Structures are given as structure tokens and as C-alpha cells.
Structure 1
């Protein structure tokens, strides 16, 4: 039984562990550009120097060896034959079952978006923010995020609040906060509503207390070298950080694989890809039925990967006893000195005020999570 997994991010690594636990004799093949995991949640700490880029790159060679995984260094170009063939730039590879966990990509269609830094693109982006901040004697920093208009869940706003509040805290620590104006912009008049009904007011109150100006409820039009342009006017800025909405992986754009209106790979509640046999998707690549507030985050990727792995193994055994995954949003919005715990399920939501303990909890989770892959 040859099970192929596309990607080497959060969902892919969880799928490897789940399959190996439930099917010790399965042949597992991973296809991804490199045997590395970049721990994206900690990018927020690079501008302050709390983390360096090399701290967040995990070599997966030993993990793959322990899990008896064959890695193919290649870029996926398409998935064919009802999922049984993966086309790559290094040739075609067949499988008995497939899990797609190759991540999503940011929608970069706004005119002039090259003038903004997209923080979650990776280590180089976070380092660019650090270097720009260190070189600036003062000025205006504009920070915001957008969405995929056809896929409400395909956004990543949480990290932008962390960059915003983290940079504000950093500037205060450096004794130069008075030399900078911080502006938060968002097309929604109530940003962060997806995190819970109480979160927008709490976040906006924090911004007001810290002297952060807001520009809300205006549709984005584009960027210029030192300007954010919206339908409600322009924001002059010396540094622009912007997180666009997300869509499916690049290889899926021209593929015949089923996609949602927002361009993500279309799945059912069991993470099965529509129209394909023994083919599943987990993490940022997919579009899943569920509440409108469901999130694109590592925690959800892990939950989806476990369900996808179990259901794929069941299908390979001829069973129809499939399971769904839990919809649960859990995050700590870190502000460099403290953290805000947010949890939301289909039954309730929880919002804790900023606590120093939560900052250290997020740091401990990083250590605990990554030790299994080192």
C-alpha cells in the first residue's frame, strides 16, 4: 500500500504520524520541494530579535528516517487519473492513496502589491521587516490584511494583529514609539469578527489605548511605493505590511481538480476531494464545509490531517465508516510581552485579556511542537 502525501508543512507531518501509527507497514512517500519545515507561527518574533530565521527551519531528514518515509524533492504540477498519478517537475509518481497538504498561496492581484511586504510568505519577509524597522528613524507604518471575496475562511488575519501589536511594543521598548505613527487598515468595519463576537471591540480598544490609528470599512484598491489606496482614501506610509486573502496551491490553478469558488481544492466533511477516489486534502489547500468562521491555521490543519488519514485508510480497506473533523479555532495573539488567548467552537467562544503567561505559553508550545521533528 503506497500512500503519497504532498507537502511537508503542518498537515503533511501530522498525516505522516497518523498513517504510520495506524498502518505500520504502509509505504509512505512525501513529495515536496525540500525536507524542511518552516515554523511560520514564530515569524512574528523575528523583527524583535526574539527569534532568528535559522531557529525556525527544521530539517526533517531524521524525522522522515524515524517514520520510514521516502522523500521526493520535487514540485507538484498536477494530480491526474482520479488521484492515482502525481505529475511533478521530476516525473510522474503513482499511488494507492493520496493526501494533498501542499498549502495555499496568497492572492497578489491588487495593483502595486509589490510595494507591500507579506509577512507570512516566509523568513525572508520577516527579516525584511526587521531590517526596515532598524533602518527607519521614524515615520508611518501601515499594517492590514484582506480576504478572498469568494472564500470567507481563506484569510490569515491573526498574525497581522501580532505584527501590529508586536511592533508597537518593540518601538516602546526601544524608546522611539513617539517617532512613529501606526495605522491599521482593513476592508471590514469590524475586523477579527471571525475570532468571536467580542474580539473586534477588544482589539480595537487595544489599538486605541496604544495610539494606533485605524482605517476601516473601505475596499482595497491597491498600493503605491509609499501609499495604501482604498475607496475611502489613501494612507501615506513609509512601510506597508499587508496579508492578502488566500487561494489554492499554484499547481491546482490550471488543474481539472475540483475547486471552490475561491479557488481552493473542494472537499466534503470527510476531507475527500470531490470527484476523486482515495484522494483527500487537509490544511490550507482545501475548502471545507462548516461554519463561516472556520480558520486557516496550523491547529485546524492538524485536525483535518488526522481525519483525512483515518478516512483514507478506511477507504483503502473497503470501509465506508468515515469521520469528520472538529471545527475549532484556537490561537494566542502575541503582543511580544503578553498574549491574548482566543478559542472558538460551534458551541461557545472564549477571550482572555492580555496575560504575560500566554506569551510564555506560546513560546513553550513552539518548543513542544517542534521537538517531535528535530
Structure 2
């Protein structure tokens, strides 16, 4: 499909890469510009393996030069500061970039409002450096208390990411057992939700809590968060002793969106339909964690969902170019493997069913998927 239109994609994560591949697969031969702070793809799902030494920064940060060359993509290094939708320009800290079609795939940001969160808690999915911090802190500890938990966005149920916390929780427990020093550590899982993990399916929450009990992991559930200190997690239900705190706060949209003029959800994300179109802006689309989409409360913000949304948004974008708009909708589907370094639990959920299944083979399946995906990026 030939076109003189200029497409600008914000971000260099899962949704952005899938959008590029879908555009070229659908024979779009026009200009594609990707905007990001670095020409690097970070495979964040595998940061869970950094504390155990199974993965390192070098394994998970993939330079994108080859990807850009293969798919004929222009890379623009910069940070987005705003949007002028009327003149069709993206404002960055470098200059303004014109576009004909814009795909927002720049991810979400963490809500860091709780007192002490920046000083006394590590956010596990805040980048490769977070996994390295966790690795180094655990290696330096002779024993003590470790507290891990997650929160949500009170204005938007979908604005949360709890799955990786369970993986860090079980992975660190497994690591300490392999090292023969688990008995020197007290591990506590905490969450303001009384049934954490419920998004994974009706049976998942109970299964996750049973696994914690089996591993000797204590729980502190159903109490609103108040803040963090150097040696504790403070909740309305009391304090949790903690020498190392891992906390995944709720998600919201990027800061620049508040001045973009785009329609935003109560939780701060770009409002979109089931095909990634932004209402009122016929040349702006969104995919991945940046968007607020119609669907069930359990609809995940995860890589697989971002891929599905990006593919649908691109198909709609291309149909809009022809002047004969089609309605491509993404499937709402949750697929993940909750890994514990030497085993894994497959969790699948769609609009009709929820399945959970555990076997050691799923650990290797997760490794295989990583290898296949990164091979395609490299």
C-alpha cells in the first residue's frame, strides 16, 4: 500500500514495534517516524529473572538500529512535551514533528504520590535498573524482612499491574531457598485489595494465596496504603517491618497528556474505542498502556494486550487512509505465565473463560517466548 502520509509513532515498546511490523506487513510504504528517548527496546517482562542472575541488562536491552533498517523507520530521539492536534504536530524537547497520522504507544507512568515511595521503595517494573537494584540489595542482605505488594489507580480499575509482583515474590523466595538462607528472611506480601490477583480469574486469587502460605510468605491484605519509611510499610491496618520494599503503584497516563487536548479518562489515559481510534480526532490512535479502552475491569495492561491493540489500531488507520473506514476491534485476552524461576503457572482469560494451570514446563515456555520475540527484534 503506497502512501504519501507521514505516520509518527510515540514510544519504542511492544505496541510501537507491533505497529511498525503491521504497517509494513500490510504494505504501507510511506514514512514512519518513531519517537523515543533512546533507540533501545527493553524487554521488561524478563526483569523478574535479574535478581536470580538468569538475565542481565545486556540480555534485555536490544539496540533498534537493525530493526529500523529492516522496516525503513526513521528514529527521532527526544521526549514528548505536548501535542498540537490542530496543526498536526507533536511537540518534543528538541523540536516540533509534523504528522498526518499519529499513534500514541508511549506507555503509562506510575503514580508516585504515597509519602516515602521515591526514597524507600523500589518499583519492580520501572526499568532494567529496578531489577538490578533488587538483585544488589538482596545479595547484600544477611537476613531481615522483605515486603512486596502492589496498588491500583482508584479512578480506573484497569490502571494496575500486579502480575510481576507475584513473580518477584515467588522468584525471590525460590532464590533464597536455593542459596540455603530462606530461614533468615521474613517475606510479607501486602495489598490494599482483599483479594489480590482477582483480575487473573475467579480461581487465581485463591491459588496465589495458597502458594504464599505453602512458601511461608505472610500476607497483609485489605488495608489502605499510607506510606513508606526506611524500615517499614505503613497501612491503615498497621505497619509492616521491611528492610527491602518492592511496591508496584497504580498506573496513569504520561504527564504531557494533561496538556494535549485529547480526551482523557478519569484515570488519566487517552480515551479510545475498541479499535484504537481517539474520538473527535480522526487522525490520532492509541495502543497499549497509554489508552483507556472499553472492556471489562480485568482487561490487562500487559505486552500481549498492547500487541493486539496496536494491530487493530494500524488496520483502522490504513482503512481510514483509503477513505473507506473499517471497524477492526481487538480481542480482550489475558495471557501470562506467572514464573517462579523453576516453574510457572499459565493464566488465560477471555470473555468466556478463565484457565489456570501449573507445570515446570511453563518456565521453559516463557524462556522460549522471550527468545522468539527478541530474535524478531534483533
- Aligned ranges for residues 1-150 of structure 1 at < 5 Å? 1-82=5-86, 84-114=88-118, 115-150=120-155
How many Å apart are 1:254 and its aligned residue? 3.0
Which residue number in structure 2 is paired with residue 341 of structure 1? 346
Separation in 2, partners of 1:309, 1:291: 23
How many Å apart are 1:273 and its aligned residue? 1.4
Separation in 2, partners of 1:24, 1:5: 14
| Contact 1:278–1:316 under 8 Å retained in 2 | no
- Aligned ranges for residues 288-327 of structure 1 at < 5 Å? 288-327=293-332
| Contact 1:82–1:277 under 8 Å retained in 2 | no
How many Å apart are 1:234 and its aligned residue? 0.6
| Contact 2:83–2:259 under 8 Å retained in 1 | no
Unaligned runs of 5+ in 2: none
How many Å apart are 1:330 and its aligned residue? 0.1
| Contact 2:39–2:75 under 8 Å retained in 1 | yes
How many Å apart are 1:320 and its aligned residue? 2.1
Separation in 2, partners of 1:176, 1:158: 25
| Contact 1:6–1:30 under 8 Å retained in 2 | yes
1:222 and 2:220 equivalent? no
| Contact 2:89–2:97 under 8 Å retained in 1 | yes
Aligned to 2:53, what secondary structure does the other structure show? coil
Separation in 2, partners of 1:206, 1:160: 14
Aligned to 2:345, what secondary structure does the other structure show? strand
Separation in 2, partners of 1:368, 1:86: 33
| Contact 2:14–2:303 under 8 Å retained in 1 | yes
Separation in 2, partners of 1:256, 1:3: 20
Separation in 1, partners of 2:366, 2:276: 28
How many Å apart are 1:83 and its aligned residue? 7.6
Aligned residues: 373
Separation in 1, partners of 2:81, 2:279: 19
Aligned to 2:106, what secondary structure does the other structure show? coil
After TM superposition, which residue ranges in structure 1, 4 or more long, deviate above 4 angstroms?
Answer: none
| Contact 1:58–1:373 under 8 Å retained in 2 | yes
How many Å apart are 1:250 and its aligned residue? 2.3
| Contact 2:22–2:311 under 8 Å retained in 1 | yes
| Contact 1:2–1:26 under 8 Å retained in 2 | yes
Pick the aligned partner of 2:196 from 191, 197, 219: 191
1:187-224 CA-partner distances (Å, limit 9, x unpaired): 11110001000001100000001000000000111111
Separation in 2, partners of 1:314, 1:200: 41
1:35-93 CA-partner distances (Å, limit 9, x unpaired): 11000000000000000111100011011011011111111111212482111111111
1:268 and 2:273 equivalent? yes
| Contact 1:83–1:276 under 8 Å retained in 2 | no
Separation in 2, partners of 1:250, 1:45: 30
Separation in 2, partners of 1:127, 1:324: 38
Q: What is the CA RMSD across the aligned residues, in angstroms?
A: 0.9
Separation in 1, partners of 2:15, 2:41: 11
1:253-274 CA-partner distances (Å, limit 9, x unpaired): 3332211000011111121113
1:134-161 CA-partner distances (Å, limit 9, x unpaired): 0000000000000001111111100000
TM-score when normalising by structure 2: 0.97
Aligned to 1:343, what secondary structure does the other structure show? strand
1:90-141 CA-partner distances (Å, limit 9, x unpaired): 1111111111001100000001102100010011111010000000000000
